[in-house]
Amino acid sequence: MKHLISPLDLSVSELEEVLNLGQEILKNKAKYSDICKGKKLATLFYEPSTRTRLSFEAAMLNLGGKVLGFSSADSSSASKGESVADTIRVISSYADICAMRHPKEGAPTVAAMHSKIPVINAGDGGHNHPTQTLTDLFTIKQLKGRLDNLVIGMCGDLKFGRTVHSLINAMVRYENVRFILVSPNELRIPDYLRQEVLVAGNINFIETNELEKYMPELDILYMTRVQRERFFNEEDYIRLKDSFILDAEKMKYAKEDMYVLHPLPRVNEIAAEVDNDPRAVYFKQAEFGVYVRMALIMTLLGLS
Instruction: Tell me the catalytic residues.
Output: 51-52, 80, 101, 129
Shortest separation between residue 43's beta carbon and ligand CP, angstroms: 11
**Binding residue for ligand CP, selected from 187, 264, 274, 301, defined by CB under 6 A:** 264
Closest to ligand CP by CB, 49 vs 142, is 49
120: contact with ligand CP by CB under 6 A: no
Residue 75 or 204: the one with the smaller Cβ distance to ligand CP is: 75
Query: Shortest approach of ligand CP to residue 28 CB, angstroms?
Result: 26
Instruction: Judge residue 20's burial from the number of C-beta atoms within 10 Å of its C-beta, 0-12 exposed, 13-18 middle, 19 or more buried.
Output: middle
Touching ligand CP, residues 38-97 (CB under 6 A): 49-52
Q: Under the phi-then-psi rule, with left for phi > 0, alpha for psi from -120 to 50, and beta for the rest, what region is 145?
A: left
Nearer to ligand CP, 111 or 198 (CB): 111
Alpha carbon distances (Å) from 264 to 80, 281, 286, 289: 31, 11, 8, 12
Q: How far is the CB of 71 from ligand CP (least distance, A)?
A: 11
Distance in Å, CB of 264 to ligand CP, minimum: 5
Residues with Cβ within 8 Å of residue 278, at least 6 apart in sequence = none
Q: Which is nearer to ligand CP, 162 or 194 (CB)?
A: 162
Range in contact with ligand CP (rule: CB under 6 A) among 89-97, 173-181, 193-201, 261-269: 261-269
Distance in Å, CB of 127 to ligand CP, minimum: 13
**50 vs 72, beta carbon nearer ligand CP:** 50
Could you say which residues in the range 125-164 bind ligand CP, by CB under 6 A?
132
Q: How many residues contact ligand CP, by CB under 6 A?
A: 9
Summarize as ranges the residues that interact with ligand CP (CB under 6 A): 49-52, 123, 132, 263-265
